[in-house]
Structure 1
Amino acid sequence: MKPINWINHRFLPILSPLIAITSALMVGAILIIFAGANPITAYTALFQESLANYFGFGNTLTKMTPLLFTSLGVLVALKAGQFNIGGEGQIYLGALGSALIGLYVQELPAIIHIPLALFAGFTFGAVWGWIPGYLKAVRGVNEVITTLLLNYIAVNLVSYLVQNPLKAPAAPSPYSPLIAKSAQLPIILPGSLAHTGIILALIAAIILWVLLGRSPLGYQITAVGLNPIAARYAGMSVERTIMLVMALAGGLAGLAGASEVMGLKYRIFEQVSPGYGFDAIAIALLSRGNIGGVVLTSLFFAALRSGANVMQRSAGVPVTVVYAIQGLTVLFIAISLAIETQRKAEA
């Protein structure tokens, strides 16, 4: 029995998401059949376009960038026992910060302008994440409530700004002027939308993996998440750790917003994110605290988004089926977590 237990603990973070995704695709196939289409044709079109096609893969990497940044932010908060559902608002604030630098700081070389705009995006997102961290650590206010409410404030703040002071002259809809060319992220796949933001997101994943698994700070974050009382008894500052991880989570989501402005749209629109902040919650839960799992699941969700329209055109399957598959994936991983928790309680 020991080898089996070792295998379960060793590979559970990888097997659980795979089983959840496979189960969701199987149920999704039934939905596709009900829609009057062939699931093999539909899935072939979806994944061939998003992963095997040059331009489609570039689009997948573009969508993966904000998903990966934001889900890393959700994951680091979860490591400290904090449930950050404010990624959407933090994306908006990060986009605002980078857009302000791109619009109003001029005549800088790209080697300075790009890092400065990224830093502004990180800082704006970090401040937006620190606020609920402070309220939780110092005032005891539930972070779920504050992060949720701050989402609405951020979205409406950006909406007001792009409709008024930041609106481009004679713009037919709310959006800002183009940011400076020196603040735009370079394209990594010529002719596609893929930009260097995905490289930065993967670097962030590696740094976070080292931080959480190979540093004293990572040990402190994990200790606070597992048992804050014991961590405080060991001399760790629980309050400071909570504020730190929430700021870090917000900063990572802020980079997601910055990458959308600097690498894709080159301006800030009223709708910065199509829901990346909420998808990131599902991705972080699916990964079960594993950085590699976050990367792979971000790729999967990005591929679904990238190939959805092609699947609709090629196989006649509504795009809503893709969102159903995402929801089913979360449902199946939640079931597996509930079963695992029950087994631990019985043991």
Structure 2
Amino acid sequence: MSAPFGKLPGWVEYGLIPLINLVFAFLVAGLVVLLVGESPLRAASLLIQGAFGYGEGIGFTLYYATNFIFTGLAVAVAFHCGLFNIGGEGQAYIGGLGVALACLAFDGIFPWYLTFVVAIAGSAFFGAAWAFIPGYLQAKRGSHIVITTIMFNFIASSVMVFMLVDVLKPIGSMAPQTRTFTEGGELPKLDWLMSIFGLDIGGAPFNVSFLLALVCCVLVWLLIWRTKFGYEMRTMGHSPTAARYAGMKEARIIIITMIISGALAGMMALNPIMGDQQRMQLDFVTGAGFVGIAVALMGRSHPAGIIPAAILFGVLYQGGAEISFEMPEISRDMITIIQGLVILFAGALEHMFRPAITAFFSSMQGVGRQTRAAGAGE
């Protein structure tokens, strides 16, 4: 997304401004902790300790980050086309149906890596199909993508309740969930990778879907900045009038962009279903679709920014659990407030500091030009 206050150096745009927003978010969060009578410094220490202080904590942090990488990429792809896809939650939910059907059908036949390939295709297809409808309505009927994607989140939730209660639930079971998958439907953990660094992830469900998320980051980068369609997406996002004048097919670009966005959101379901629960349950997405919006905003819709932003929210989830355990006065609701503050500063207040920073760098560039001109005149 382009900056409305002038061109800034890349390290400022993608590094300094997000860092300043993050620092102020944690300063305000520290005041909230102080108001409940606890030490902000101890809370910060527990946050870091819980997220990075031991192998299992790191495993959980990266597990959560995997979800947010997928949903952050989904939002970012839509952003570049000027679309605000708020339907990642529903698309991930429906994507889970593709994962579950693949595992239920093939977990007793294929080894995990073949089932994984089928599940990737299933999750991407179901997520893409769910995003196609709002994309089509936007492109062909003028329906606003924000409204339709929000509504489709609720529809997806109802569809999944029906599927789990009336279709996929094993006979005789009371819980709204599928049967537990056999070994062919379980993703192996990345404990071997962490052991290289001398870490034991214990019971953390950190699994190979993290590697898939990193591959998707590379593919999204290639799509957006190294392909003709990516150029058309960015042109459409920057100026629809210019795109139409250049002969680009607006409806086609919108629909394909939403299909790609939905496919990425749908693949998020691989991590909790195959990598953790080994079955599909209600509410397995747990808000990752909405967190993806903040991740994309904080990461400036660039895969290189989305990865650290996703890890940051993984820290908030895992470290927040540590805080609520060690500091009973700070409940999970308080942790949600801290997460909300980060989202607020990364999203709604993203441009709060930009005018001052832009003015500062403009003045510095002006001083530099005057200095060079004076040197040339001597």
TM-score by length of 1: 0.93
The amino acid of 1:73's aligned partner reads A
2:273 matches 1:261 = yes
The structural deviation recorded for 1:89 is 0.3
For residues 39 and 286 of structure 2, the distance between their equivalents in structure 1, rounded to whole angstroms, comes to 28
CA distance in 2, matches of 1:218, 1:208: 9
- Report if the CA contact (8 A) 2:17-2:354 is conserved: no
Matched, 1:245 2:253: no
Q: Does 1:331 align with 2:334?
A: no
Q: Structure 2: how far apart are the matches of 1:59 and 1:210?
A: 29
SS at match of 2:67: helix
2:94 is the alignment partner of 1:93: yes
1:223 is matched with: 235
Where does structure 2 lack aligned partners over 5 or more consecutive residues? Answer: 1-5, 192-200, 363-378
Partner of 1:271: 283
SS in 2 for 1:171: coil
What is the aligned residue count?
A: 341
Do 1:42 and 1:314's aligned partners in 2 also have CA atoms closer than 8 Å? no
Alpha-carbon distance change, 77 to 170 in structure 1, aligned in 2, over 3 angstroms: same
Is 1:209 the counterpart of 2:221? The answer is: yes
Match of 1:307 among 300, 306, 319: 319
SS at match of 1:173: coil
1:160-206 CA-to-partner distances (Å, cap 9, x unmatched) read 11112211344342111012421221110263310011111111111
* d(CA) in 1 for partners of 2:91, 2:30: 35
Find 1:171's aligned residue among 173, 176, 188: 173
| Whole-angstrom distance in 2 between the partners of 1:26 and 1:252 | 33
Q: 2: CA distance between counterparts of 1:343 and 1:128?
A: 41
TM-score of the two chains, using structure 2 as the length reference: 0.85
C-alpha separation between the residues in 1 aligned to 2:18 and 2:334? 19
Partners of 1:32 and 1:337 lie apart in 2 by 26
Using a 3 Å threshold, how does the CA distance of structure 1 residues 74 and 7 change in structure 2: closer, same or farther? closer
8 Å contact from structure 2 (residues 165, 177) kept in 1: yes
Letter in 2 for 1:87: G
Give how far 1:147 is off: 0.5
Quote how far apart the aligned CAs of 1:338 are: 5.7
Counterpart of 2:297 in structure 1 is 285
Structure 1: give runs of 5+ residues left out of the alignment. none
Distance 1:343 1:136, change over 3 A: farther
2: distance between equivalents of 1:343 and 1:311? 34
In structure 2, what is the Cα distance between the partners aligned to 1:262 and 1:154? 20
Change in 2 beyond 3 A, CA 1:19/1:251: same
Counterpart Cα distance in 1 of 2:353 and 2:151:
31
Q: Which moved more, 1:182-191 or 1:35-44?
A: 182-191
Distance 1:215 1:181, change over 3 A: same
Looking at structure 1, the residues matched to 285 and 8 of structure 2 have their Cα atoms a distance apart, in angstroms, of 39
Q: Identity of aligned pairs, percent? A: 33
Q: Secondary structure at the match of 1:241?
A: helix
| Alpha-carbon distance between aligned partners in 1 of 2:23 and 2:353, rounded to the nearest angstrom | 18
Q: Residue in 2 aligned with 1:126?
A: 128
Contact 2:80–2:237 (Cα < 8 Å) also in 1: yes
Q: Is the 8 A contact 2:112 2:185 kept in 1?
A: yes
Superposed CA deviations along residues 1-41 of structure 1, whole A, max 9, x for unmatched, are xxxx8764542122222111111111111111111211111
1:40 correspondence with 2:41? yes
The CA deviation string for residues 35-73 of structure 1, in whole angstroms up to 9 with x for no partner, is 121111111112111122100111111111111101100
Letter in 2 for 1:148: I
Matched to 1:181, the amino acid is E
Shift of the alpha carbon at 1:289? 2.2
CA contact 1:64–1:301 (8 Å) conserved in 2: yes
Identify which range, 274-283 or 327-336, moves more after superposition.
Answer: 327-336
Partner in structure 2 of residue 110 of structure 1: 112
1:340: how far off? 4.5
**Larger Cα Rg: Structure 1 or Structure 2?**
2
1:263–1:18: structure 2 CA closer, same or farther, 3 Å change rule? same
Give 3-state SS (helix, strand or coil) of 2:215's partner. Answer: helix
